[in-house]
Amino acid sequence: MEFDRVNGNKLPRRSLLAYLTSGAALLGSSALVRGQEGQQPQSVGPGMSPEIAALARLEDSSTRRASSYDRTGGNADSISIDPGQTAALLDTSGPGLITHLWFTINSDDRYHLKNLVLRAYWDGENEPSVEVPVGDFFGLGLGDYFLYQSALTAVASIRGLNAYFPMPFRKSARLTVTNDGSVKTDSFYFNIDYMTIAELAGDLGYFHAQYRQAAPCHGWTDNWKNDYESPVGDAKNLTGKGNYVFVEASGHGHLIGVTQAVLQNQDGWMGEGDEMIFIDGDTLPSINGTGTEDYYNGGWDFGAQPFGYMHNGAPYIVDPERVGGRYCMYRWHVDNPVRFQKSLKFTMEHGHANHRSDNFFTTAYWYQSEPHMKFPELPAPDARIPHIYAVGGPGPAPVPAGK
């Protein structure tokens, strides 16, 4: 048992996600911060919920913001980022907690969402704990804007990028954006809301986000008609061999979600693949799913209908089940964080038993103790731009550019 210094009660030790799913944590930070010794709970009156009471609770923390506002007092409230330049968005000493990121961007670069890269470093580390193209971090994995709302990310009108992941740090936090493209970013607006506190709760993990892609994600055959006829229908996959890998992590932590974008290189339903999650060195999947649309908590190929809810969605579906079909999806594990004590490997089949060869672009989000595994090298800027590839299989071959 652990003594809750803020509320004065004996409580079991709980992880960050347990705090996040409580009303008090959603409305205040007291569960994340060590308060003064000896504080006793105060009566809030009959019928008043703890969530409402939390609005009135006073805390020993200070609210801060790092912003692109015009330091002269004028209206030039953005920064520009030249090709190859890295801009520092936040550089602060801890302890503290980032609570919200907001960006909006004006650029002549068609694919600035893929070419601008967000990185975050906690407590003076040399390797980033966050390394993701800006668009992918906010669920826009194909370089296009669209509006949606979820519990942890949202895109508001017009081009307002928002993220609400709590990002604790004990000594320092540094956030940067690098322009990997060849076109100057004329206007990058940002607000990063955070708080400074006296002491951070000891059981909080550090926020991590990692980008990966496979373009194309090569299947084992290009000679097939559908998922149910031979040779595809006869194929088996129990071990996850050849699966697409969202993330591998070592340490103690929990996965809180993923975003995934798919650009189809072949006709047909792209999502017959199952998620297979390996926890703490298991050689067979610790968790085995039933299909891509099932993992994202939809069903039956999504019915070609975009949708978006607080914890799951496919808010962007264009020309589905044909060459050039485009999907963006997300799943937040607020209800069931994927917990690991030693290691995690989160994978998904690309088609049944990995027979398809579409393009996958993904970001995984998790909390863990440090140090973390070194991230794979970020793909080159040109490789991150979505293209249709000639991979065989059903559907017309893509027309070469300029034809």
- Nearest residue to 361 (alpha-carbon basis) of 308, 316, 303: 316
Q: Distances in Å between the alpha carbon of 333 and those of 46, 175, 239?
A: 34, 25, 23
CATH class in words for 206-384: mainly beta
Numbered ranges of CATH 2.60.120.1390 in the chain: 62-197, 206-384
Tens of pLDDT, residues 116-134? 999 999 999 999 999 999 9
Cβ density class 230-243: b for 16+ within 10 Å, e for less? eebeebebeebebb
Q: Rounded distance, CA 352 to CA 246, Å?
A: 17
Summarised one tens digit per residue, pLDDT across range 19-57 is: 343 333 433 454 565 544 444 445 556 677 777 888 888
pLDDT value for 22? 38
CATH 3.40.50.10210, applies to 62-197: no
Question: Which residue, among 140, 147, 82, has the nearest Cα to 111 in the 3D structure?
Answer: 140
pLDDT tens per residue across span 89-126? 999 998 999 999 999 999 999 999 999 999 999 999 99
Identify the CA nearest to 172 among candidates 119, 130, 123, 207: 123
Nearby residues of 88 by Cβ (< 8 Å), 6 or more positions away: 174, 175, 176
The model's confidence at residue 401, banded by pLDDT at 50, 70 and 90, is low
Task: Specify burial of residue 277 (Cβ count, 10 A radius: 0-12, 13-18, 19+).
Answer: buried
Q: What is the pLDDT of residues 303-322, one digit of tens each?
A: 999 999 999 999 999 999 99
pTM for this model (two decimals) = 0.89
In this prediction, residue 230 carries a pLDDT of 85
Query: In this model, does residue 349 exceed pLDDT 70?
Result: yes
Radius of gyration (C-alpha) of the chain in whole angstroms: 22
Q: Is 1 helix (H, G, I), strand (E, B) or coil?
A: coil
CA 268/CA 334 separation, integer angstroms = 32
Can you tell me the distance from the alpha carbon of 298 to that of 265, in angstroms, rounded to the nearest whole number? 23
Tens-place pLDDT, residues 239-259: 999 999 999 999 999 999 999
Q: DSSP letter at 12? A: -
